[in-house]
Amino acid sequence: MAKLYFYYASMNAGKSATLLQANFNYNERGMRTMLWTAAIDDRGAGEGDAHAIESRIGLHAGAHRFAAGTDLFGRVGAVHAEAALSCVLVDEAQFLTPAQVWQCADIADKAGIPVLCYGLRTDFRGELFPGSAVLLGIADTLVELKAVCHCGRKASMNLRVDARGNAVSEGPQAEIGGNDRYIALCRRHFSEAMGR
């Protein structure tokens, strides 16, 4: 029985690297996969999208890009009908719409293909992303990947910073950036940085 998985963590926990390792494992055994990432995150775009998913440790792979209107169930189903897929892997899953999360569940439940989603649980204010909220509610398996705060405790929060390194508490929920824009912190240090 195929399942819907949600691997979640703060920034810098190795979500993309873990996804790419899982993809490698499937491919090494001759199994076909389909990779997806958010269209909003174009940091890896280039070279024919060969770097659509890229980890901080240098691993990368091409991937299809989803936007809010992308029909994942239809797109995956069309590819699966031509040649069977063994797994669907979704990076930046926090950007899935609630409807797309349910489509991922349908891919597992109706098409019998495991779906492995990787993403952030919360934004820079400590609030759930809509896609992550639905994944936390309906995924068959939840796996927390660990990042480390500068104090050595588990980093579970994502602090957005400005160009001077000061905490940012306002702005759009989705703002793409890496280590220059976000710092993974434990809840205590996140709260202190946000002045709570």
How far from chain centre, in Å, is Cα 66? 12
Alpha carbon distance 188, 95 (integer Å): 26
Catalytic residue among 92, 127, 144, 170: 92
Specify the 3-state DSSP secondary structure of 116.
strand
Residue owning tokens 């649980």: 121
92 is catalytic: yes
Specify the 3-state DSSP secondary structure of 35.
strand
Q: Which two tokens stand for residue 183?
A: 């710092």
Q: Which two tokens stand for residue 171?
A: 């702005």
The residues annotated with a catalytic role in the active site are 92
